[in-house]
Amino acid sequence: MGLDCYPQPYDKNGCPIQGSNGMLHCDDESCPFDADRFPIGMLGTCCSLRGKVAAHELEALHETRLAEAMFEDMTPTQARDFAQELRCAADTLEQRHAGDAEKPKGAPWNGTYDSSKKEWVYLNHSTFEEALASIREAARWYEKVGRLGYGVHAWW
């Protein structure tokens, strides 16, 4: 299942404004996310985040509650608070495994289906450092979206 996160405008009463195109700017204006170069899904906009990446990394590192929260819509305040939760989780994981000779694996990728075993087999995983970088990158996106006064619409 995919997950793309889009900025969601809110009115002054704290209600989401429907019909947003998932962008913070008009087509003829420069994107406030150009310099950030966040991962974008194939149906994403220049302002969106391919949330599936960070969600899979969180799941692989047993941060299931945070992974599941990425599939929820959020208000601007919730987006900023969630950014802080993501940062704290990354920092905690990094501290917890600082002295480990072998760090936990990140999310699996490039799997093949073994029909004889009836299961997916993954030969590759993100490194621990790559997983933390993806989580921190998502935190930066949520923080920026919330700071700009937008919430998040999770599309999956």
Closest listed residue to residue 92, CA positions, set 132, 60, 151: 132
Q: Is 19 left (phi over 0), alpha (psi -120 to 50) or beta?
A: left
Per-residue pLDDT of the chain (156 residues; tens, 9 = 90+): 689 999 998 888 878 887 777 888 888 888 888 888 888 877 788 899 999 999 999 999 999 999 999 999 999 999 999 999 999 999 999 999 999 999 999 999 888 899 998 998 888 999 999 999 999 999 999 999 999 999 999 998
Q: Hey, is 62 helix, strand or coil?
A: coil
* pLDDT on residue 1: 62
Residues composing the chain: 156
